Structure 1
Amino acid sequence: MKKKLGIVLGCVVAAGFLGLGVFHTSASPSEPSLTINEVRDIVKKQYPGKITELEQETEFNRAIYEVEIANDKKEYDLKVDGNSGEILDIKEKPSKNSSTSAKDKKETENKRNKSNDSKENNELNNNNESKKSTHSNEQLNISEKETAISGKEAKKIALDAFEGTVSDFDLDEDDGRLIYEIEIENGEKEAEIEVDAYTGEVIVIDYD
């Protein structure tokens, strides 16, 4: 009798552990307890430089933030725990002096544009007009879809994440997901922020 009772109890305990494992496996990842601004402050205190990108991701049902930061000498790719603020991973590489190379590219492009003849310029203008028309039609189709977050609310969310003046505002679709793309200027600083049009979640902050 005792042997049978022991077998029954063992089966019940095993079933309980199995159910708990299934629950944890199927559970959806929780939202991070740390906001983007809090993560930005944590990173700035530990790594001097300019944050060029800050994005929320999920790895193995764990909320993390991926951060890119650069200074004159080095660049860092960080992974930060969305709940504890712990630095989970860091990759270090030499700085590419992107600002200098970007200026050189712009100067080269300007010289090439000046050397183009009037026919090439007309063709470029026609192509640009065609692209603008296509983009406008796409925007009309996107604007017909319903969003839970209004444009005004999206701007407020973006300004809470980065103070300044909204210089550009756009509603776009990415893999069936409607997002607000908002550009904000604050003096010499700029940021491009993506806000989910349904949840109001700040998806990406790209600093310039």
Structure 2
Amino acid sequence: MKKRNILFAGIAGVVLLGGAIGVGANSIAGDKNPENTGSAISMDEAKKIALHEAGGKLKEIELEKDDGRLIYEIELISDEKGRKVDIDIDAKTGNVIKVDQDDDHDNEPVTNKEAKVSMEDAIAVAVKDTPGEVEGSEFDPEDGYYEIEIQTGKNEVEIKVDSETGKIITKDND
């Protein structure tokens, strides 16, 4: 009888330990890719919040983990002077954490090539070519292309899409 109780206690201990190890491994995997941690708002919702907050044109948006907190880091180019506006948005709540407007008088305005293709369309082209989770996108106004990062399982793919034609310029696997 005692041996059977010890056996059951041992089995229960192994099952609990295995579960704890599984949960720990899952949380470590989630730390490597912020998308796995499950943000409450989408990248598109974060973009809308940022544009409502500061206006301008979207240059870059990325989902990052900052001090254990999941945030969208968004960079806008203001319409009137071509200056940068950086906005951080809490990915769980959608609250604006920080708005940092570039007020340096030494900075030259960004020379913006007008994009004929929207960022949303460029992302759609990239995802159609390489299905996966979009981790970030950025518009390079000086060179006239969008740079889109896509997580495909264990690989990260960087795709550059021409902002005038909507065609893929380069595709790099990391």
TM range (shorter): 0.3 to 0.5
**Greater Rg by CA:** 1
Q: So what's the TM-score if we normalise by structure 2?
A: 0.48
**Higher helix fraction: Structure 1 or Structure 2?**
1
Q: So what's the TM-score if we normalise by structure 1?
A: 0.41
